A and B are shown apart, each in its own frame.
Chain A
């Protein structure tokens, strides 16, 4: 069930997200933003999502996070179709990070505490130890928590946003160009923290939208190339196995 992201699976390579014939049109013009695409994300997958601007990469990630309603198709989580009862658990298991981190009002600490006020996390408590470990991984100390979230640099905000989701131990990370507007140092920190999260528990998976071929190569073991709203089946940035497209 999506409510227990840490439920042990004997198979770390089980299928996590199955998207079937997902498609999306622009709400105003009806123009097709993403043509029907089917894909599976398995435990252990690190998928680089590449393609030119406007190819539908962000559209795909927002659909996979179920923040936007697909105009067709379906998403299954661990073999079960996601419905309005299970969608909150799904969003807990599948964390979504965008290019420009959104900060809530208040300090960094307020931002890190915020998820625990939500019903879906009622079984979790804010853990200062977890947060301090994550801060240390980001090269920050406890004083960082007292900063005003509205005054953070882009890199600091993205690190805060990353800690905000990583402390919740999601199973899947959907990252929409999380480092595109960051300085190299922050970029390295974000990549390292994601690596650490991925390695901590077998069976985790991520999809990472990147414009930078070197980064896509670094962070992925599979790739998905989008062009004009369609998945390109034969285009791969690396010799690694393709995302299966039935």
Chain B
């Protein structure tokens, strides 16, 4: 670590938090009606991050594989639950599909990163394992939830066309191909966009963090390059798994479209 690195005091945190007053004043002036939500969001930001800081520092100190795995599982479950919350339509089993897709893809890619690419010893070194999984999870979550949302939307919008193809004798895959492709594309595009503007329009948080901590920018970008490819692989894999899972749920082996399984999301779940 570079000696220039400054630790932030509570006063400095408070000064930064005061910036939320800008949002508050805007909300009041423009009658956005967001004051309460702003306050709540600020409190959550502070509390959640301080909590995570304490948990992580405990995990880092404890340094046992089962603690690291436990935390990784918790992170994955939270991401998995969030994956199926988008979109106006849902089906029985969507939550499981989102969870399984995120779990398989993000863990597979994280394991490749830890064992094959970065080759950390021990492999569960929390300083690496947890942030890498976290970054992969965040992006896979976006891909999977966009993929699920688009797939169900396409199937509702193209229901008649799917039915027509089936009535002509199309296999279930021939009938579902177009919606599936659209859905996988929709899930992969955010990652592709991020990859094409990274470093030019946006400086990724991890890289910024490394540079702030005194790491050489040349090393920081190397890590960032690795992360971008990990994210791309995991979100593509997760999105594809989620879309295929939806396909298997909604198309029977008798080549029927079970449109009745796609139900409008009830208000309580939305």
A92 to B167, CA, bound (A): 8
Is A88 in the interface zone, CB < 8 Å from B? Answer: yes
Whether B256 pairs with A69 at a CB distance below 8 angstroms is yes
Stretch at the interface among B101-109, B158-166, B184-192: B158-166
**Is the CB–CB distance between A119 and B254 below 8 Å?**
no
Judging by beta carbons under 8 Å apart, are A67 and B170 in contact? no
The answer to whether A84 and B253 touch across the interface, beta carbons within 8 angstroms, is yes
CB distance from A136 to the nearest CB of B (A): 23
What are the residues of chain A within 8 A of B174 when measuring CB–CB? 117-119
Contact size range, B: 10 to 19
B255 within 8 A of A: yes
The answer on a CB contact under 8 Å between B168 and A91 is yes
A67 touches B166 (CB 8 A): yes
The proximity string for A residues 55-93 relative to B, scoring 1 for CB distances below 8 Å and 0 otherwise, is 000000000011111000000000000001001110110
A32: Cβ under 8 A from any B Cβ: no
| Bound-complex Cα distance A170 to B90 (A) | 37
CB-contact partner of A96 in B167, B171, B255, B256, under 8 A: B167
Q: Is the CB of B169 within 8 A of A89?
A: yes
Residues of B within 8 A of A27 (CB): 260
Residues of B within 8 A of A69 (CB): 252, 254, 256
Establish whether residues B168 and A67, one from each chain, have CB atoms under 8 Å apart when the complex forms. Answer: no
Chain A residues near B170 (CB, 8 Å)?
88, 118, 120
Contact residue among B160, B171, B253 (Cβ-Cβ distance under 8 Å from A102)? B160
Shortest A80–chain B CB gap in Å is 16
B182 to chain A, nearest CB (A): 12
Contact A88 B253, beta carbon cutoff 8 Å: no
B220 to chain A, nearest CB (A): 46
Nearest opposing residue in chain A for B160, CB measure = A102
B169 near A120 with CB under 8 A, answer: yes
Chain A residue with the shortest CB-CB distance to B255: A87
Task: Judge whether A200 is part of the interface by a CB distance below 8 angstroms.
Answer: no
A22 and B163 alpha carbons, distance in the complex (Å):
21
Inter-subunit contact B168/A102 (CB<8 Å): no
Q: Does A199 contact B (CB under 8 A)?
A: no
Q: Given contacts A84-B254, A87-B254, A102-B160, is CB(A118)–CB(B165) below 8 Å?
A: yes
Contacts of A66 in B (CB 8 A): 254, 256
Question: In the assembled complex, how far is the CB of residue A95 from the closest CB belonging to chain B, in whole angstroms?
Answer: 7
Give A65 to B161 CA distance when docked, in angstroms: 16
Q: Is A28 an interface residue (CB 8 A)?
A: yes
| Bound-state Cα–Cα, A67 to B254, Å | 9
Bound CA–CA A118/B100 (angstroms): 32
Q: Which residues of B contact A165 (CB under 8 A)?
A: 168
Contact between A67 and B163, CB atoms less than 8 A apart: yes
Q: Is A104 in the interface zone, CB < 8 Å from B?
A: yes
Task: Determine whether the beta carbon of B167 is less than 8 Å from that of A67.
Answer: yes
Chain B window 136-161, contacts with chain A (Cβ cutoff 8 Å), 1 for yes, 0 for no: 00000000000000000000000011
Chain B nearest CB from A84 CB (Å) reads: 5
Cβ-neighbour of A104 out of B164, B167, B171, B256 (below 8 A): B164
List of B residues within 8 angstroms of A114 by Cβ: 165, 168
| Cβ distance B63 to chain A, nearest Cβ, rounded Å | 54
Q: Which residues of chain A are near B169, meaning CB under 8 Å?
A: 88-89, 91-92, 115, 118, 120-121
State the Cβ distance, B165 to closest chain A Cβ, in Å.
7
A91 touches B166 (CB 8 A): yes
**What are some 25 contacts across the A-B interface (CB < 8 A)?**
A27-B260, A66-B256, A67-B163, A67-B166, A67-B256, A68-B256, A69-B256, A84-B255, A88-B170, A88-B255, A91-B167, A91-B168, A91-B169, A92-B169, A95-B168, A102-B160, A102-B163, A104-B164, A114-B168, A119-B171, A120-B168, A120-B171, A164-B168, A165-B168, A168-B168
A-B pairs, 5 with minimum CB distance: A27-B260, A120-B169, A92-B169, A102-B164, A102-B160
**What residues of chain A have their CB less than 8 Å away from a CB belonging to chain B?**
27-28, 65-69, 84, 87-89, 91-92, 95-96, 102, 104, 114-115, 117-121, 164-165, 168
Q: Which residues of B contact A (CB under 8 A)?
A: 160-161, 163-171, 174, 252-257, 260
Not counting A88-B170, A118-B168, A119-B171, a sample of 11 additional A-B residue pairs whose C-beta atoms are within 8 angstroms of each other reads A28-B260, A69-B256, A84-B254, A88-B171, A91-B166, A91-B168, A92-B168, A95-B168, A102-B161, A114-B168, A115-B168
